[in-house]
Structure 1
């Protein structure tokens, strides 16, 4: 399998193609042949981890600011404790909340968020 992986890396490089790999450890510490280990370390290497609640709030705050949205204090912490916690759902929620705010012509506050969550729960 390691010989096949080595050949695949060489073929990908020869054809200017791309490959995405993932694993539990960095390529430098994988228990594989040295030539394969170096090939796996050729590209960009990222360590990915889940965001903490504070990092989620910061990311959502930045996304809101980039869209020109003003969120009252407490909106995002409340949302984290009363809504799905993954970033895809939270980002989608921000879109929906923005739309609801525009439709009701009200700023995004905790009461508006609660109202929107109740309306969403009734639709489901």
Structure 2
């Protein structure tokens, strides 16, 4: 399975960087950055259990993918080779997909629940975990549930995942969602005043991916109409939704 190499800007959108994640658990960003940017020469002692690797847990829409892509971007900016793989896209053929990614310094594996219960895929992931540890590579996992709650059929895989440092992500409150919208609008050069921000916050959910898609839509609409993003403009553009 070939894995095309894309420019950093295309693989990892500017919104999805470690330093653009809002309201992360204390120490989480520093830990992910350290894991992403370390080299075998500077990493020091490597814990053979994998406790220095990271397992992100949380429901859909809390930004697990954001952090995985941000870690990959940080790794590549530090001169390391990184790869992101959504396991749903490789379910049923995970061994081939993981073999194609060998040789990277950092692997970010998203959505473990997608392969839970598929014994062949679980064995492939278990083998990759062990080979990465032996090679001095780094792994970051993400799943909706903690390892003990996943319907895994391979106890050894559950054990390996449970040994990783766990970071639990929770949905943003209104203040967090407002900050996400504010920052992402600024990076796009969108003028979003407080009245427009308040209007949006009452009508959008907490899904970070949805917020990004919404701002993309507003960006295109405001450019096409040559209008600022005001409450009347939002009512016209999104009111029917």
TM normalised by structure 1 equals 0.65
Q: Distance in 1 between matches of 2:141 and 2:176?
A: 26
Q: Which has the higher helix share?
A: 1
Mapped contact 1:71–1:108 kept (Cα < 8 A): yes
Check if 1:117 corresponds to 2:238: yes
Match runs of 1:38-57 below 5 Å? 40-41=163-164, 45-57=166-178
Q: Which has the higher strand share?
A: 2
Q: Distance in 1 between matches of 2:217 and 2:142?
A: 34
Mapped contact 1:74–1:110 kept (Cα < 8 A): yes
CA RMSD for the aligned pairs? 3.1
Mapped contact 2:172–2:206 kept (Cα < 8 A): no
Following superposition, the deviation at residue 53 of structure 1 comes to 1.0
TM normalised by structure 2 equals 0.37
1:10 aligns to what?
Answer: 130
CA distances 1:21-79 after superposition (whole Å, capped 9, x unpaired): 55549xxxxxxxxxx58x824xx542311111110100110111112111122222211
After TM superposition, the runs of 4+ consecutive aligned structure 1 residues lying more than 2 A away are 7-12, 15-19, 21-25, 44-47, 82-85
Match runs of 1:1-124 below 5 Å? 8=127, 9-15=129-135, 16=137, 18=139, 20=141, 22=143, 23-24=145-146, 40-41=163-164, 45-118=166-239, 121=241
